[in-house]
């Protein structure tokens, strides 16, 4: 068995040691803990997400995607707060028995680390701590970001009359999972890439600061996450099903009904769900243009609690998408 | 299956919501991330530790102890830095199939939460984030503390001539594990309690700030952790075996040789290993008196690298204690 310290050193420490100086890191990995210097005038924004094999991602998923995805889903929470990502810690639990030999373990780790690092570098997020343990494959990622005092986006600010909008497209996560389960393995397929290589919307969250009245990321599915926003803000919601931006190739792959269901309750999309005043929509859309990202109005907040469709469709029929995790205990 | 949000709410959110106001928490659990306000003039100290069933603790360990221990081993890293603990995040992965029914799951969770909270309250550490996922039992704990700029204890400050000392007693972790494996289940047994309910030495770390030239916590075993300190500080070490403070009942339970081996390489003690100038030992010991904790000099740092025993014993004979994790893959 490869020793823990060897693992950490070889695949994780070298790359971030080089980048510590400019990132507020006084003492990096390798001591009992890491010393960080937050910026004055900023609030610290922290969140943790665990990705478990056979629950959140398939056992046969490429190691690169496993590393990317574990960090992406955690960063998505910072995006939903309008925070700038700064640091992360990674707790990797790895079952070496799943590999033929040390060489296979190392190959997997190298790919995994590459996926993790590529995304962390893209978002200027320095890996400042970690733990490698033996057990069923699982990755816990703690992310730490910053936001100017009072400017964070929360779930609780929506008011009746606000419009409801989403970034990008919906249903790709669930559509990609369906394709994976049918045997598709080409990660360049737009749906599969949405499922296994989601892009956290950090730049969008930042751009929507000062405009969005509430925000969260869509991880559990649009209806489920909208319910969290409704509860926190004490508003209702009316959704226009025809307005839902469906992921590329989703409808052609699954058919209209399943595509709608994927968009409404599939989850794993990691787009931002936001509310904003009607007068601010154009400005918000304008801000996302440089990011190559759309912002689509899909409904509005109502005083009457609960959720309904503007065309009177029965939304309960769209609940209950078979999540990957639904197959686990 | 109990829903994630129910689990989090019922056992973890209520108790810390009451304590957020005075703890630098602007927005607590329940949003995508938590907002914290670090104190000015302090460095942030962060670390993550994962505790995996059958690797770090036995499957049949009392839930109270599992919760206590998962937090304790993480806090121990803050203690080793001389930091004040402030916040933690907990990622719990739980296999509900191991329980007979929802009632059994809830009973386990209630005990687990009680163990976690009792310790977090003892050390004024507010739980500010979490994730509950389904899978093999495992707990990832991220701890966040603070230390005045420049005052953190690190592994790299020891110099030749410094004395080497440890807090409390050694070998209890390994001795307790041995007892557990022999069927002992009484947590009031001093050795078993050392193994399953370790006490992070946060107050000692704080008291030794400004005196200790280097510090780390003993999790892998004295010799292994001393090797980390020696490497970081580029010093050698000479150890007096007769001086090692052995845990209560360790020698009478295991015999002299096994007791020494447990103290030298057993690990899981979570005592602090520190170096300090000869002139500072009395002052350091004095500072620990109010904590009811001893500080025992066990050797000194040498210019010659490597480690040896002052009585010329062959230390290699004491390596290789059969760790619990040694039985896992």
- pLDDT at residue A125 above 60? yes
In a domain, B325, yes or no: no
Domain range holding A196? 163-320
The model's confidence at residue B9, banded by pLDDT at 50, 70 and 90, is: low
Please report the pLDDT score of residue A24 as a whole number. 79
Please report the pLDDT score of residue A326 as a whole number. 36
Percent of chain A with pLDDT over 70: 90
- pLDDT at residue A178 above 80? yes
Instruction: Please answer yes or no on whether A134 and B52 come within 8 Å at the CB atom.
Output: yes
The model's confidence at residue B329, banded by pLDDT at 50, 70 and 90, is: very low
Residue B77 assigned ligand-binding role: yes
* Residues A197 and A315 occupy one common structural domain: yes
In a domain, A213, yes or no: yes
* Residues B54 and B26 occupy one common structural domain: yes
Please report the pLDDT score of residue A165 as a whole number. 98
Compute the count of residue pairs across chains A and B with CB atoms less than 8 Å apart.
Answer: 202
- pLDDT at residue B60 above 90? yes
The long-range contacts involving B97-100, CB below 8 angstroms and separated by at least 24 positions, are B97/A329, B98/B59, B98/B137
Q: How far apart are alpha carbons A241 and A222 in whole angstroms?
A: 12
* Residues A247 and A212 occupy one common structural domain: yes
Residue B180 assigned ligand-binding role: no
Judging contacts by C-beta atoms under 8 Å, the chain A residues touching residue B36 are 43-46
* Residues B122 and B32 occupy one common structural domain: yes
Instruction: Please answer yes or no on whether A50 and B131 come within 8 Å at the CB atom.
Output: yes
Please report the pLDDT score of residue B235 as a whole number. 98
The model's confidence at residue A224, banded by pLDDT at 50, 70 and 90, is: very high
* Residues A197 and A284 occupy one common structural domain: yes
- The encoded tokens of residue A192 equal 């599969």
Which sign, positive or negative, has the C-alpha torsion B148, B149, B153, B154?
positive
- pLDDT at residue A13 above 70? no
Q: What is the mean pLDDT of residues B159-168?
A: 98
Q: How far apart are alpha carbons A66 and A72 in whole angstroms?
A: 10
In a domain, A86, yes or no: yes
- pLDDT at residue A228 above 50? yes
* Residues B60 and B171 occupy one common structural domain: no
Please report the pLDDT score of residue B40 as a whole number. 87
| Average pLDDT in chain B | 91
In a domain, A158, yes or no: no
CATH number at residue B119: 3.30.1330.10
CATH number at residue A245: 3.90.650.10
* Residues A170 and A140 occupy one common structural domain: no
Please report the pLDDT score of residue B28 as a whole number. 67
pLDDT in tens, B200-249: 999 999 999 999 999 999 999 999 999 999 999 999 999 999 999 999 99
Percent of chain B with pLDDT over 70: 90
pLDDT in tens, A42-59: 999 999 999 999 999 999
Tell me how far apart the 2 most distant CA atoms of chain A are, in Å.
Answer: 61
CB-count burial class (<10 Å; 0-12, 13-18, 19+) for B106? middle
3-state secondary structure (DSSP) of residue B152: coil
**Final residue of a domain: which of B148, B179, B205?**
B148
pLDDT in tens, B271-324: 999 999 999 999 999 999 999 999 999 999 999 999 999 999 999 878 755 544
Residues 131-190 of B with CB under 8 A from A: 131, 133-136, 138, 140, 142-145, 147, 149, 152, 154-156
Contact B150, B50 (CB under 8 A): no
* Residues B131 and B200 occupy one common structural domain: no
* Residues A190 and A75 occupy one common structural domain: no
Residues 256-315 of B with CB under 8 A from A: none
- Three-state SS string across chain A, please? CCCHHHHHHHHHHHHHHCCCHHHCEEECECECCEEECCCCCEEEEEEEEEEEECCCECCCCCHHHHHHHHHHHHHHHHHHCCCEEEEEEEEEEECHHHCCCHHHHHHHHHHHHHHHHHHHHHCCCEEEEEEEEECCCEEEEEEEEEEECCCCCCCCCCCCCCEEEEECCECHHHHHHHHHHCCCCCCCCHHHHHHHCCCCCHHHHHHCCCCEEEEEECCCCHHHHHHHHHHHHCCEEEECHHHCCECCCHHHHHCHHHHHHHHHHCCCCCCEEEEECHHHHHHHHHHHHHHCCCEEEEEEEECCCCEEECCCCCHHHHCCCCCHHHHCC
CB-count burial class (<10 Å; 0-12, 13-18, 19+) for B40? exposed
A308-323 burial, b if ≥16 CB within 10 A, otherwise e?
A: bbeeeeebeebeebeb
- pLDDT at residue A15 above 60? no
* Residues A176 and A139 occupy one common structural domain: no
The model's confidence at residue A329, banded by pLDDT at 50, 70 and 90, is: very low
In a domain, A329, yes or no: no
Q: How far is B252 from chain A (nearest CA, A)?
A: 33
Residues 196-225 of B with CB under 8 A from A: 215-217
Judging contacts by C-beta atoms under 8 Å, the chain B residues touching residue A145 are 33
Residue A77 assigned ligand-binding role: yes
In a domain, B110, yes or no: yes
Q: How far apart are alpha carbons A144 and B269 in whole angstroms?
A: 30
- pLDDT at residue A171 above 70? yes
| Average pLDDT in chain A | 91
Q: How far apart are alpha carbons A249 and A172 in whole angstroms?
A: 9
B124 vs A254, B1, B98, B118, B159, CA distance in Å?
A: 52, 33, 32, 10, 34
In a domain, B155, yes or no: no
Please report the pLDDT score of residue A318 as a whole number. 81
- The encoded tokens of residue A158 equal 């929506």
* Residues A316 and A218 occupy one common structural domain: yes
> What is chain B's alpha carbon radius of gyration, rounded to the nearest angstrom?
20
Judging contacts by C-beta atoms under 8 Å, the chain A residues touching residue B32 are 47, 76-78, 80-81, 155, 215-217
Please report the pLDDT score of residue A22 as a whole number. 64
Count of domains for chain A: 2
Contact B154, A31 (CB under 8 A): yes
| Chain A CB within 8 Å of residue B101 CB | no
* Residues B136 and B264 occupy one common structural domain: no
Please report the pLDDT score of residue B202 as a whole number. 98
In a domain, A26, yes or no: yes
The model's confidence at residue A328, banded by pLDDT at 50, 70 and 90, is: very low
- The encoded tokens of residue A265 equal 């309750």
The model's confidence at residue B259, banded by pLDDT at 50, 70 and 90, is: very high
- pLDDT at residue B17 above 80? no
**Final residue of a domain: which of B124, B148, B172?**
B148
- pLDDT at residue A27 above 80? no
**Final residue of a domain: which of A89, A118, A148?**
A148
Please report the pLDDT score of residue B18 as a whole number. 44
Q: What is the mean pLDDT of residues A127-143?
A: 93
């Amino acid at each position: 068995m490869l020793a823990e310290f060897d693992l950490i050193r070889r695949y994780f420490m070298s790359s971030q040691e080089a980048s510590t100086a400019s990132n507020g890191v006084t003492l990096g990995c390798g001591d009992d803990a890491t010393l960080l210097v937050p910026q004055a005038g900023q609030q610290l924004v922290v969140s943790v997400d665990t990705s478990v094999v056979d629950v959140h991602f398939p056992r046969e998923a490429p190691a690169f995607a496993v590393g990317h995805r574990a960090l992406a889903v955690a960063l998505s929470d910072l995006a939903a707060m309008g925070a700038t990502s700064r640091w992360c810690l990674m707790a990797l639990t790895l079952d070496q028995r799943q590999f033929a030999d040390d060489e296979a373990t190392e190959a997997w780790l190298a790919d995994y680390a590459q996926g993790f690092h590529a995304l962390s570098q893209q978002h200027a997020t320095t890996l400042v701590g970690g733990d490698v343990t033996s057990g069923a494959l699982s990755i816990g990622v703690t992310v730490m970001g910053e936001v100017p005092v009072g400017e964070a986006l929360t779930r609780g600010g929506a008011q009746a009359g606000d419009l409801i909008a989403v970034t990008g497209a919906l249903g790709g996560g669930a559509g990609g999972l369906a394709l994976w389960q049918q045997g598709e393995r080409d990660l360049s397929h737009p749906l599969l890439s949405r499922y296994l290589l989601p892009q956290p919307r950090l730049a969008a969250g930042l751009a929507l600061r000062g405009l969005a009245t509430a925000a969260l990321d869509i991880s559990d599915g649009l209806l489920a996450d909208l319910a969290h926003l409704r509860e926190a803000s004490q508003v209702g919601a009316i959704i226009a099903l025809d307005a839902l931006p469906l992921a590329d190739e989703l409808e052609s792959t699954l058919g209209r009904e399943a595509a709608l269901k994927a968009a409404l309750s599939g989850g794993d999309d990691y787009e931002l769900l936001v509310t904003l005043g009607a007068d601010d929509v154009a400005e918000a859309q304008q801000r996302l243009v440089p990011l190559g990202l759309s912002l689509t109005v899909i409904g509005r907040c109502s005083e009457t609690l609960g959720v309904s469709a503007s065309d009177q469709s029965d939304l309960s029929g769209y609940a209950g998408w078979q999540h990957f995790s639904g197959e686990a205990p």
